[in-house]
Structure 1
Amino acid sequence: MSDPWSYAGKRCIVVGCYSGIGEATARELVRLGAEVHGLDLKESPVALASFTPCDLRDTAQIDAALDGIEGHVDTLFYCAGLPQTFPAIEILQVNFLSARYLVERLRPKLRQGSAIAIIASTAGNGYPERMPLIREAIATPDYEAGLAWGRQHLDGQGDPYMFAKEIVIVWGLLQAQTLIKQGIRLNLLSPGPTISGMTKDFEAVSSAAMIDVFTAPIDRRAAAAEQAYPLIFLNSDAASYVNGLNLVADGGFTSGVMLGTIDVPALLTQVTG
């Protein structure tokens, strides 16, 4: 019987392998025996089977990168993202449109039994409140239509990072219902505050103290590896019956808010004075 926890011999793509959760994911996959192919703007420090520079805001570069990976693919880890220090339309591109495009483009290489894991965020927890608008974004038929929709609708939606994460969560959960019919699982991971290459960007937009409000009740930020491990589990054979899940890895914050044990407005008031 094969080891359900093993990645030995599996062909994996890690998008966003240069730093943070993506780098930690690629590093652990290599340790587990996987053949890892990386895509990112900057080359990963991990010794990968292959690396292709790729700007995810350019579909031609995505096409070229995927064309350069011959043969089948067992797992896709989409770990790329842009924070609020980038233009809103670029945040929508990388955090949603490019993820959707890449999954659609990669589908012919994915065999039955393969799996996809996408990093979302607890910043997208508010998706139920904007479901009609989110479904509009998801209904756009292709990348260019999605860009056009974003240019028309991003103004007035508040934090573009939060909005893009809301969209990718809903899209991912819906896509999982379709892909599983082809034997392909899709799940998402929503991390809480995590130490990564984007930490300085998040703190530039907000503040360290404000971000730390969302670390309750564990009262610390996650290390990148602490998010990589559950992400790797989602794509493993050990999770063969796990599909259409948005796994929240935030130290208990979301459940605390839901159960009323964490008073976010009160904590924010303490920070802002």
Structure 2
Amino acid sequence: MSIEAFNLDGKTAIVTGAGRGLGKAIAIGLASAGANVLLASRNPEHLSGTAAEIEHSGGQAIRTSVDISDPASCAALVSRAEDEFGKLDILVCNAATNIQGPAADMPPSAWSQVINTEMSGCFYLSQAAYKVMAKQRSGSIIMISANSSTVGYADLVGVATAKGGVDMMARNLAIEWGQDGIRVNTINPGFTEHVPEDGADVAAGDGDLEEDIRAATPLERRGRVEEFANPAIFLASDAASYVTGHNLVVDGGYSVK
């Protein structure tokens, strides 16, 4: 094993929700390792910053739109990658919601939105990617889950339920698709320095929540976005060629304390 095992030169990757936060960091990380990246978001205008950073560093990035709750849109996204680059080696299912609130007050529309985005979207994208990866006899699917799939949080029932489903989905797809040379894993982040667009979380270093996070996390801080990009590079690369069906928790030890 050498550092070359982490090289993604010539690989093609799709990253959804690549306009900011973890998706942006992962897309830039994959590109820095050599991958051509198809950046996807419901609004492609949100992807301009990510594309600019990749291209400034000499990488190749294409922006496009996707509605991951729509199977046809997911299939079109995969077809776009195949048309542009001739193949698809890496799929990162990152797009997510941040719907929070008491379970007793969650309306059906919010529940459906969370499940359709957080869980069904991963399935539709993976289904579409399978058709290309199976022909190639190779591929890595990475689903961005959360440590809320195993740790209980107040006011997060929809997201936590969906992420639990994503973890189990990855295990089942790993079993079904291993014979086709396709690996399926999750990354399960904890608290990050990235603040959701709707402001439901607070910035690092602000307020009582930060004291609680530091007290409950062995590393005593939030994770930096690049600390989630590096595990994605690992799972996408040949360095993880014998890793599948695994839920990789990246939370500074929060879930084990």
Q: Deviations over 1:3-55 (max 9, x none)?
A: 21101111111111111111001112222221111111233222343111112
Unaligned runs of 5+ in 2: 52-59, 101-108
**1:89 pairs with 112, 131, 140, which one?**
112
Closer/same/farther in 2, CA of residues 160 and 212 from structure 1, 3 Å limit: farther
Q: Which runs of 4+ in 1 moved over 6 A?
A: none
Q: Is the 8 A contact 1:14 1:77 kept in 2?
A: yes
Report the CA distance between 1:209 and its aligned residue: 3.4
- Partner letter of residue 164 of structure 1? A
CA distance in 1, matches of 2:226, 2:190: 13
1:159 corresponds in structure 2 to 157
**How many residues align structurally?**
225
CA distance in 2, matches of 1:76, 1:244: 15
2:188 corresponds in structure 1 to 190
Does the residue aligned with 1:81 lie in a helix, a strand or coil?
coil
Report the CA distance between 1:126 and its aligned residue: 5.0
Report the CA distance between 1:191 and its aligned residue: 0.6
Q: Deviations over 1:161-211 (max 9, x none)?
A: 11111111111112111111111011111011012242754428xx96347
1:64 corresponds in structure 2 to 76
CA distance in 2, matches of 1:158, 1:38: 28
Does the residue aligned with 2:143 lie in a helix, a strand or coil?
strand
2:243 corresponds in structure 1 to 242
- Partner letter of residue 125 of structure 2? L
Closer/same/farther in 2, CA of residues 4 and 199 from structure 1, 3 Å limit: same
2:57 corresponds in structure 1 to none
CA distance in 1, matches of 2:196, 2:87: 32
Q: Is the 8 A contact 1:126 1:166 kept in 2?
A: no
Q: Percent identity?
A: 28
Report the CA distance between 1:72 and its aligned residue: 1.6
Q: CA RMSD in A?
A: 2.5
Q: Deviations over 1:204-252 (max 9, x none)?
A: 8xx9634763451222111111111112211110011111110111111
Q: Is the 8 A contact 1:112 1:182 kept in 2?
A: yes
- Of stretches 244-253 and 110-119 in structure 1, the one that deviates more from structure 2 is 110-119
Q: Is the 8 A contact 1:121 1:189 kept in 2?
A: yes
TM-score normalised by L of structure 1: 0.75
CA distance in 2, matches of 1:61, 1:14: 14
1:46 corresponds in structure 2 to 50
2:36 corresponds in structure 1 to 35
